[in-house]
Amino acid sequence: MSAITPDETVLGLLAAQARHGYQLLDCFQDPRKLGRVWKLSTSQLYNVLKRLEREGAIVGCEVASESGPPRTEYTLSAAGQARLSAWLNEPNPSSSIRRVRVEFLSRLFIARALALPTSAIVHRQREACLRERERLAAEHSMAQSSIESLTLAFVVEQLDGVLRWLSTCETLLASN
Binding positions for a copy of itself, rule: CB under 8 A:
31-37, 97-98, 100-101, 105, 108-109, 144-148, 150-155, 157-158, 160-162, 164-165, 168-169, 172
CA neighbor of 61 nearest in space, from 77, 47, 40:
77
Contact assessment for residue 75 and residue 58, using Cβ atoms and an 8 Å cutoff? yes
3 versus 78: smaller Cβ distance to DNA: 3
Q: How far is the CB of 149 from a copy of itself (least distance, A)?
A: 8
Does 107 help bind DNA (rule: CB under 7 A)? no
Angle at 89 between CA 20 and CA 135, to 5 degrees: 120
Residue 72 engages DNA in binding (rule: CB under 7 A):
yes
Candidate segments 16-24, 101-109, 122-130, 144-152, binder of DNA by CB under 7 A? 16-24
Among 100, 90, 107, which residue's Cα sits nearest to residue 34?
107
Q: How far is 9 from 111, CA to CA, in rounded Å?
A: 10
Site pattern 27..56 for DNA (x: CB under 7 A): ------------x-xxxx-xx--xx-----
User: How many whole angstroms from its chain centre is CA 118?
Assistant: 13
Instruction: For helices 105-113 and 119-141, give the axis angle rounded to 10 degrees.
Output: 170
Interacting partner of 31 out of DNA, a copy of itself, none (Cβ under 5 to 8 A depending on kind): a copy of itself
Among 16, 18, 22, 139, binds DNA (CB under 7 A): 22
CB–CB of 6/100 below 8 Å?
no
Residues near DNA (CB under 7 A) are: 3, 5, 20-23, 25, 39, 41-44, 46-47, 50-51, 65-73
